[in-house]
Amino acid sequence: MSENDEVKSLLFGDENELSDGRSWYVIHCYSGYENKVRHSIEQRIDSMGMQGQIFDVVVPTEEEIEIKDGKRRTVERRVFPGYILVQMILSEESWYVVRNTPGVTGFVGMGNTPTPLRPDEVNRIMSRMEAEAPKVKFDFQVGEKVRIGTGPFKDFVGSVQEIDVDRAKVRVLVSFFGRETPVELDFLHVEKV
């Protein structure tokens, strides 16, 4: 079984489960309250006995490496701030439970009826969440002045010539003995001046 088939199996179950009507829906909530709303929905599922109709609640996130002041830390960022995915069988009861959860402002869809996500849309979102390498976030751009924090060029100031996001490297032009010299450094070793 390929990795893609495993994801489909996890999301949509086997052929027998496809006929039970479960689909993924997008709900809108207040930005910054996604985890609180997810927790509230999960509590309502348990307290109202909706485990047979509402199956999963997901806040789409991805890991990102943030570099600030020469320090690297991994943070979890929301892919779609203000939105949550819910896998459920759409019925009056399940729709009522989710839409009347505190913090939920509504379902995404046409008119008054929620529109389910297509399987390819769900696969794209889930695979983005499970990406192996976290994205690197940095606070400098090509042409900006940066200070080198470590190594033989410590405390030298230079201008960013090139940024290689895939390798988390930056090429900085440093004035060395009266000549502009390119130096390749890790994102972690430079900071914005």
Q: What is the pLDDT along the chain (193 residues), one digit of tens a residue?
A: 444 444 444 444 443 334 578 899 999 998 889 999 999 999 999 999 999 999 999 998 888 777 666 667 788 888 889 999 999 999 999 999 999 999 999 888 877 778 898 888 888 888 877 765 666 677 778 889 988 888 888 888 999 999 887 777 889 999 878 888 888 888 778 888 7
Grouping H, G, I as helix, E, B as strand and the rest as coil, residue 171 is: strand
Question: Do residues 117 and 107 share a domain?
Answer: yes
- From edge to edge, which strands make up the β-sheet containing 22-29? 54-58, 83-89, 22-29, 104-107
Number of domains in the chain: 2
Q: Which of 101, 119, 136 is the last residue of a domain?
A: 136
From residue 11, give the alpha-carbon distance in Å to each of 15, 17, 124: 12, 10, 12
C-alpha span between 146 and 157 (Å, rounded):
6
Domain that holds residue 175: 138-192
Instruction: Give this prediction's pTM.
Output: 0.63
